[in-house]
Copies of this chain bind each other. A is one copy, B any other.
């Protein structure tokens, strides 16, 4: 047996999310179905984490174990030949048996794309924000999210996680042609954390909150103190890093 690490991009538009669930097709179900055909048996795939319905990935990381003797780079072509065209395996590499896509993840990067004018070609891939946004206010608020904080206020209350302390290493607002995106690099993110941070930042940009309110929201440890949850389709799991952070 050898362990294979896959780097996968997917357009989440037509999926109920990453993780297998009773109702609705998922990324995991598609990948596992193809691997089962290749292996003539069920193959369990582990991801760095789940993504919600309509959320995208540019560099999701998966691992699975295989007894197939084919060269590892052949997995890329073989999988892509059978996967639907909204899921693309970008790379495959053999990794040590100690590699674990979820537990080994040291940093994750998410990006959230938005734009000022509606574009039919980006309707599933960037959120349209028609009100005026003050970028400087949003950048001030972004700086307050960087660091190690208890992000309870920026997570879904039903999420049964004991420890809600996470570290954000980088948070920035980037202009990219007709669009802009928020970029977050962190040790990990709570369920819906990025979408709640983005929803709040947009409300700061719009003037509903002051930038300094973000510190108050963090301190309150109460979901009701933060802003709305931004829609899923602007969000991308951009990459996952497994190297130790100094």
Contact residues in B for A118 (Cβ distance below 8 Å): 80, 85, 88
Contact residues in B for A123 (Cβ distance below 8 Å): 11, 85-86
Report the bound CA distance from A88 to B118 in whole Å: 8
Q: Is residue A22 contacting chain B, with contact meaning CB distance below 8 A? A: no
Contact residues in B for A10 (Cβ distance below 8 Å): 120
The reply to whether B11 and A120 form a contact with Cβ atoms under 8 Å apart is yes
A58 nearest CB neighbor, chain B only: B121
The reply to whether B120 and A87 form a contact with Cβ atoms under 8 Å apart is yes
Q: Is residue A179 contacting chain B, with contact meaning CB distance below 8 A? A: no
Report the bound CA distance from A80 to B123 in whole Å: 13
8 Å CB contacts to B: which residues of A107-131? Answer: 118-121, 123, 125
8 Å CB contacts to B: which residues of A1-34? Answer: 9-11
Please report the total number of A residues contacting B with Cβ < 8 Å: 15
Please pick, from B9, B80, B119, the residue contacting A119 in the complex, using a CB distance under 8 A. B9
Contact residues in B for A9 (Cβ distance below 8 Å): 119-121
Contact residues in B for A88 (Cβ distance below 8 Å): 118-120
Report the bound CA distance from A215 to B85 in whole Å: 37
Report the bound CA distance from A149 to B177 in whole Å: 38
Q: Is residue A56 contacting chain B, with contact meaning CB distance below 8 A? A: yes
Contact residues in B for A80 (Cβ distance below 8 Å): 118
State the Cβ distance, A81 to closest chain B Cβ, in Å.
11
Report the bound CA distance from A213 to B124 in whole Å: 42
Among A85, A87, A88, A120: residue with most chain B CB under 10 A: A120
Residues of A that sit less than 8 Å from B by CB: 9-11, 56, 80, 85-88, 118-121, 123, 125
- If A11-B120, A88-B118 are given as contacts, then 14 extra A-B residue pairs at C-beta distance below 8 Å, sorted by A number, are A9-B119, A9-B121, A10-B120, A11-B121, A11-B123, A80-B118, A85-B118, A85-B120, A85-B123, A86-B120, A86-B123, A87-B120, A88-B119, A88-B120
Question: Can you list 19 A-B contacts (CB < 8 A)?
Answer: A9-B119, A9-B120, A9-B121, A10-B120, A11-B120, A11-B121, A11-B123, A56-B121, A80-B118, A85-B118, A85-B120, A85-B123, A86-B120, A86-B123, A87-B120, A88-B118, A88-B119, A88-B120, A121-B125
